[in-house]
Chains A and B, each alone.
Chain A
Amino acid sequence: MSYRDFHLLGKTELNRIAEGATAAVQRWSETWLAGRPQNPVVQASALNSPAQLGQAVDASWQGVLVDHYSVVEFCHAGDMTRYLLTSESSENTVTSASGIVGKMTVELTTELIKIIVKEFNPTVASFAHIGDSCTLPVAANSPGNAMILIEINFTPGVSSKLLIEHTLLKGVAPEPRPVGNLTAAHSAIGNNQLHLNVQLGKTDLNIETLMALGVGDVLKLDKPIDEELEVMANGKVICKGYVGKSADRYAIRVSTKSV
């Protein structure tokens, strides 16, 4: 599929699709930025227009319909047409005149687009195996083009090629939100005290041994001497280090960050 096919939809249709998806795009690009592309609400609202897109595409694709293709933005500006895919794992049913060919999911991360065959109907298509996939790198922080070619062999011997062309615009992410000047807040929390503790080790023993413990007995702990000790804050290990002393107190020299 090339964008030229989309152009056939006409400007009114394009505008309608673009309008329907605008709100979704806004919310979706926020989740994209936050590194959490999954957002069911966005997905649901985004599916309204792609169904129509799919139908329109059906005719020009000679019987191959990508239904619920998760296009959340589709707009036309000058000679540039662009669209975005929704979050990972949206499921796409591919149908032909003979029935459902199969299902594919599209996984979208900031690095790649991956299309995975999840189901296929062997009486209609022998093109795929479950788990087949095709991966396309997405150039980070720059608009990129990607072509996906899926070859479908209908029995008996009729084949069709499905070409999906992406212009994935990373640049669609909204302008960086101005972050407030938190200097005052920062200096205010800076004095807050935090409780840390360091555990030397532990040992399990039975009650009989416990009751017999006396002065002079030695318990062997589970911590090897050449290992770092963990520094905990709020029950969470924040860093590790080796034990020593400083001004006659036990001390830890930090060597590894843990969070």
Chain B
Amino acid sequence: MSESYNINNVELTELQDIETSSRPYFSGNIDLIKNVKVRLTVKLGDAEISVDELFRLKEGSVIRLEKEVNMPIDIDLDGKIIARGVIVAVDDSYGIKITEINNK
């Protein structure tokens, strides 16, 4: 048994945004993206050292960071600080307990 088909080219219409008064469908709808994973990084701190100091680094050397121990630590999402907290131990791992949320 054989079948016959009509084969035609498809013409694509040029599309442009049309201004309408309707509201955005998904604006602020977190539900749609709630399972998307993001990565939070926690930076302990920075230090500025001179090249001389770098060349003198050896086992046992101490590098002092700028961050004071009584200051909260930044929690970073894609370069933006979203919260701050203090270092804790969670079982055998480091963890961070949130002390402030950045709402700005």
Contact = CB atoms under 8 A, between A and B. Distances in A.
Interface residues of B, number: 58
B96 A200 contact: yes
B47 A205 contact: no
Contact of B37 (A191, A195, A204, A251): A204
Contacts of A205: 37-38, 40
B78 to A, nearest CB: 11
A246 to B, nearest CB: 5
Given A216-B97, A222-B93, A249 B67 contact: yes
Interface string A238-254: 11010111111111111
B98 A200 contact: no
Interface residues of A, number: 57
30 contacts: A193-B51, A194-B54, A196-B47, A196-B48, A198-B47, A204-B40, A207-B36, A208-B30, A208-B35, A214-B98, A214-B101, A218-B90, A219-B95, A220-B90, A225-B92, A225-B94, A226-B92, A231-B63, A248-B68, A248-B69, A249-B64, A250-B69, A251-B63, A251-B64, A252-B62, A253-B60, A254-B59, A254-B62, A255-B60, A257-B59
Interface of B: 30, 33-52, 54-55, 57-70, 73, 75, 77, 82-83, 85, 87-101
